[in-house]
Amino acid sequence: MIEAQGLTKRYGDKVAVDDLSFTVNPGRVTGFLGPNGAGKSTTMRMMLGLDNPTRGSVTIGGKRYTELHHPLRTVGALLEARWVHPNRSARAHLSWMAKSNKISPKRVDEVLDIVGLTEVAGKRAGGFSLGMSQRLGIASALLGDPEVLLFDEPVNGLDPEGILWIRKFMQRLADEGRTVFVSSHLLSEMALTATELVVIGKGKLISQSTTEEFVARATDSTVKVRSPQLDRLRPALEDIGATVTESDGGLLVSGASSDKIGELAMENRVTLHELAPQQGSLEQAFMQITGDSVEYHTDIDTADAAAASAAATN
């Protein structure tokens, strides 16, 4: 389990992480979501003792990173994929890491096998594709068989096959009962990968909930209605306080459930051709909740978000 309490980091005048408190539990993949510059990497660096908090604390299994007797056996991290010496082979790199952390050399072959790199273990890591480098990074993280795993933007730059592999792999690690904490600004990716979300903006906690709750809370639940007698249904809906807008020859109704709209249609002898609750996308939820927390707004951001949410809804 990871616990942040009042975690704060200042760089001069800049507050990168601002009084963050949240908990990450084992047995599930928890997404760490936030716009660029929100403070995700800084938070992860503090989890790994690479940066010191200005105030507050973050602990792994109840201990600060610097208090851990065998850090590699407690927490594994994938922060930056291409940090291996390019002339070293994957096996040589892992063997060196194992030796310097008093981990059995047998574990090297095990982790190579787990990430599917056995066949290329003798090749120079410098010639690896990004996907293979990510696998090697994950093999290093797994070397100490840790209970807690941190991934900082693990799918950045990967092809669809690589993305799918990482997603399934993180789920497998969580199914084994480990604590898996993964940062991303790819919202649709998080919707597919994470069951729990810690969302931050401008260094502050915006929400911690299940992915499902996050989307449901943030998006207006609307119902799409098509009928040849909308002229009769519309005033009836407005009479009960629903908000009605025209859309695609039908109506988009908010403030009334599909059950209520169906009953109202029957009472008014209105034939319905469609009555469809609209599922909000994670993109819509994210923009709605973090909208004010994005450091630099541009028209392009807004257009991109609209396009992304349209793509996700369709």
- Out of 4, 22, 37, 75, the residue judged to bind ligand ATP by CB under 6 A: 37
41 lines the binding site for ligand ATP (CB under 6 A): yes
Determine the size of the site formed for ligand ATP (CB under 6 A): 12
Q: Toward ligand ATP, which CB reaches closer, 111 or 287? A: 287
Q: Toward ligand ATP, which CB reaches closer, 37 or 137? A: 37
Q: Toward ligand ATP, which CB reaches closer, 40 or 93? A: 40
Residues of this chain, 16-35, that bind ligand ATP according to CB under 6 A:
16, 34
Q: Considering the complex, what minimum distance in angstroms separates the CB of residue 237 from ligand ATP?
A: 42
40 lines the binding site for ligand ATP (CB under 6 A): yes
Q: Considering the complex, what minimum distance in angstroms separates the CB of residue 13 from ligand ATP?
A: 10
Q: Toward ligand ATP, which CB reaches closer, 98 or 190? A: 190
254 lines the binding site for ligand ATP (CB under 6 A): no
Which tokens sit at 307?
């396009």
Q: Considering the complex, what minimum distance in angstroms separates the CB of residue 43 from ligand ATP?
A: 7
Map the chain to HEC letters. CEEEEEEEEEECCEEEEEEEEEEECCCEEEEEECCCCCCHHHHHHHHCCCCCCCEEEEEECCECHHHCCCHHHHEEEECCCCCCCCCCEHHHHHHHHHHHCCCCCHHHHHHHHHCCCHHHCCCEHHHCCHHHHHHHHHHHHHCCCCCEEEEECCCCCCCHHHHHHHHHHHHHHHHCCCEEEEEECCHHHHHHHCCEEEEEECCEEEEEEEHHHHHHHHCCCEEEEECCCHHHHHHHHHHCCCEEEEECCEEEEECCCHHHHHHHHHHCCCCCCEEEEECCCHHHHHHHHHHHHCCCCCHHHHHHHHHHHHHHHC
Give CA–CA dist 20/74, Å, rounded.
22
- Category of 283 on φ-ψ map: left (φ > 0), alpha (ψ -120 to 50) or beta: alpha
Q: Toward ligand ATP, which CB reaches closer, 288 or 293? A: 293
- Out of 1, 23, 25, 36, the residue judged to bind ligand ATP by CB under 6 A: 36
Q: Toward ligand ATP, which CB reaches closer, 144 or 203? A: 203
Segment interacting with ligand ATP (CB under 6 A) among 8-16, 62-70, 83-91, 94-102: 8-16
- Out of 38, 72, 223, 282, the residue judged to bind ligand ATP by CB under 6 A: 38
78 lines the binding site for ligand ATP (CB under 6 A): no
- Out of 64, 185, 204, 224, the residue judged to bind ligand ATP by CB under 6 A: 185
| C-alpha pair distances (Å), 189 with each of 30, 32, 172, 184, 185 | 12, 12, 16, 8, 9
Segment interacting with ligand ATP (CB under 6 A) among 38-46, 112-120, 209-217, 255-263: 38-46
193 lines the binding site for ligand ATP (CB under 6 A): no
39 lines the binding site for ligand ATP (CB under 6 A): yes
290 lines the binding site for ligand ATP (CB under 6 A): no
Residue reference for tokens 């909740």: 289
Q: Toward ligand ATP, which CB reaches closer, 47 or 139? A: 47
Q: Which residues contribute to the site for ligand ATP (CB under 6 A)?
A: 11, 14, 16, 34, 36-42, 185
